[in-house]
Amino acid sequence: KNEVEQSPQNLTAQEGEFITINCSYSVGISALHWLQQHPGGGIVSLFMLSSGKKKHGRLIATINIQEKHSSLHITASHPRDSAVYICAVPIIQGAQKLVFGQGTRLTINP
């Protein structure tokens, strides 16, 4: 059983649509990361949040610690948003480290 589950695994949408990617986790955490991996392979951190909501440009991340669920929203989606979006949570197994979801492949068509 994966400790971090993302849905959907693949998502295709038209430019301008509102996008939601979900992340559920089964372990107790104090924070959650959202990452973006571009088609070229590079991985960048988008958000780290422990409560409520964070916004950066057209990206919004929310988290509900009690329900163990986080969402990443993209408003006014654009083809350049096409990427794999990954959520990750820090867990303690020995020392503390990140466990990753499988990723959501997003394709925005013009």
Partner 1 sequence: NAGVTQTPKFQVLKTGQSMTLQCAQDMNHNSMYWYRQDPGMGLRLIYYSASEGTTDKGEVPNGYNVSRLNKREFSLRLESAAPSQTSVYFCASDRDRGMNEQFFGPGTRLTVL
Judged by CB under 8 A, which of 1, 67, 80, 95 binds partner 1? 95
Judged by CB under 8 A, which of 45, 64, 72, 108 binds partner 1? 45
Q: How far apart are CA 13 and CA 15, in angstroms?
A: 7
Amino acid letter for position 59: L
Q: How far apart are CA 104 and CA 34, in angstroms?
A: 11
The one segment of 14-22, 26-34, 59-67, 70-78 that binds partner 1 by CB under 8 A: 26-34
Rule CB under 8 A: say whether 86 interacts with partner 1.
yes
Rule CB under 8 A: say whether 94 interacts with partner 1.
yes
Instruction: Spell out a b/e string for 3-41, using b for 16 or more CB atoms within 10 Å of the CB, else e.
Output: ebbbeeeebebeeeeebebebbbeeebeebbbbbeeeee
Position of tokens 């107790």? 28
Rule CB under 8 A: say whether 24 interacts with partner 1.
no
Judged by CB under 8 A, which of 21, 25, 33, 72 binds partner 1? 33
Task: State which residue, 9 or 14, has the beta carbon closest to partner 1.
Answer: 9
Rule CB under 8 A: say whether 41 interacts with partner 1.
yes
